[in-house]
Structure 1
């Protein structure tokens, strides 16, 4: 669900469960620049305005939505094990509309047919806090309960 890009793991996680939401509190030993990455599904369920850091003053907070980085990337499509993979360019990542590099023709592929040249980035949100100092801090946020979905 929640992954941090700097591989800083929480010292502990506390869950507070209420009828309409759950509060998640995670304590970290944080550097002055602290980055967290939330998958698209997790970030969509965070109650707007509830994401905060406690324990160390915040100098700035930046929220960057990361889109899938496949568009305009080169990939290979392996349709049949007896054939050579086709080198393609991704035109539309959401429905996998591709263009064959050699023939210039367009087609759609299935995810299991793709071979990647680079590791595809997950869609999600990166939150970066610049803190006044390093030390112990608590990341806190609320997620919607089942009735929201």
Structure 2
């Protein structure tokens, strides 16, 4: 895939998911004719057939069966990531994490954990965290995620 998923294509995918015949779908060999049968769960012995795949298509049959559960899971992950990207950055939590990191990076190392540090010492590191935050640009998390996706999609991109 070289182009981002368009909203129209995403909607097509969402609408293509059957509302009946829920997962799990399973694959069963038909020993009589050598085909593979993709079946949905049902109590009726003559129902449940989704697809018949030729004998050489066992991997395709497994893909079809797996896709019934996997596609909704992937769409849910898209929704989760979009929600996370759209969520505002919690500056107070970020300030506290920066202060805790600065506290832990002291030489000599701190004698008390961050949560138990004295109020004046905590205030010192929180002021240092404020100085760090003052020079950071505002973060557009969606742009950061898109840039990471672009890097992943680029030739030679991805994990080393």
Normalised TM-score (structure 1): 0.23
Structure with bigger RCO (C-alpha 8 Å, 6+ apart): 1
The structure with more radius of gyration: 2
Q: Which has the higher helix share?
A: 2
Say which structure is richer in strand: 1
Could you state the TM-score of these two structures normalised by the residue count of structure 2?
0.22
